[in-house]
Amino acid sequence: MVNQKNILLGVSGGIAVYKACALASKLTQKGANVKVMMTESAAKFVSPLTFQALSRNPVYIDTFDEKNPKKIAHIDVADWADIAIIAPATANIIGKLANGIADDMLSTTLLATEADVYIAPAMNVHMYAHPAVIQNMKQLEDWGYHFIEPGAGYLACGYVGKGRLEEPESIIAAVESHQLKEQMLAGKKVLISAGPTREKVDPVRFFTNRSSGKMGYALAEVAAELGAEVTLVSGPVSERISHPKVKRVSVLTAEDMYKAMHAHFADQDIVIKAAAVADYRPKLVHEQKVKKQDGNWQIEMERTKDILKSLGEMKTNQFLVGFAAETNNPLEYGEKKLLQKHLDAIVVNDVSAEGAGFEGDTNMVTYLNKAMHQDEVSIASKREVAARILEFIDRDMKDE
């Protein structure tokens, strides 16, 4: 998975720099094109000449050392890289990245690259456990950076604990494993619905629900990272998505979502309806604001179209997945929905449970396929839950 890949190896200053020499050598032996970029501190531990000999490429240290006047070096390298590996990654470089600081060539290049970035930390055990470092790593993970956890053992400072740079072979194995996983949905077209709908009463009032769209957006983001071409049909939410392989189609009402899902359905491989669509809408929509009056106001509601059922009736080769947000007997109702709507799988969750449901950043679900096989996903971030759901879908599609 690294053969013929352009790999930027970022080396920051720590005693573990000596392991980065072996990493550069092993990457080169595997057929990767390696360019090494060092901080000034790293160069105090190991000579840049060592990395030049191992990578067979010039080593970059100084932002202002522009060897080719036709190119800006740090931008050129940032664009060139398919993969960036920071090993060792000190608390300092992690902090810079998490806070958008670009004061040397390595930090500047990493902020400019769109390559997958893998961070292999190495530091004192107490530094690794410091709240600031933990917060910085969490921020980077949220932004899509990938961490290769350090090992535990005897550290150069004399302490014994977690903080030792992972071995070069393990770093390469982690990168290759993730790169392989990233191709899991390569070539697949995925249609996802997310968020609520709004059903108009008059120009200032509407019915809606508490859906934030976070689960659907997490599914779209992760599916794109796994190589899929994603169409996201979204109700009105504040969530944003930036992945270039995600095309967002904005809708407002249940009828809008029905039309958009049907318009994009035919050529999809996977369809996931995560949106919380209104089941009912006002039968009469007032063109002018209804004025407040004495007494009660009764609004007659009519059924909206059942989007999921209609897709289940017309599907051919699509793998169709629904969501069932329940507050009691979730599996019973989920199984019923799976069968009635001709689904290939359903994701069931109890939205009344702590840590699950609307608006939050975490979820816990049960994935149930048409063979009635259950996979439990315990409480985790919605992004992690999305990754597990997509793994289950990929597995079931291969088993068909």
Which residues are annotated binding-site positions? 279, 289, 323, 337, 341
Q: What angle do CA 175, 180, 185 make, to 5 degrees?
A: 140
- Could you tell me which residues are annotated as the binding site for CTP? 279, 289, 323, 337, 341
Report DSSP letters for 228-280, one per residue: -EEEEEE-S-S-----TTEEEEE--SHHHHHHHHHHHHTT-SEEEE--B--SE
Report DSSP letters for 1-32, one per residue: --TT-EEEEEE-SSTTHHHHHHHHHHHHHTT-
- Helix, strand, or coil here: 156? coil
Q: Among the options 102, 125, 157, 237, which is catalytic?
A: 157
21 tagged catalytic: no
Contact between 392 and 314 under an 8 Å Cβ cutoff? The reply is: no
CA 324 – CA 293 distance, rounded (Å): 38
Position of tokens 């890289």? 81
CA 344 – CA 319 distance, rounded (Å): 6
Contact between 367 and 347 under an 8 Å Cβ cutoff? The reply is: yes
Catalytic residues: 157
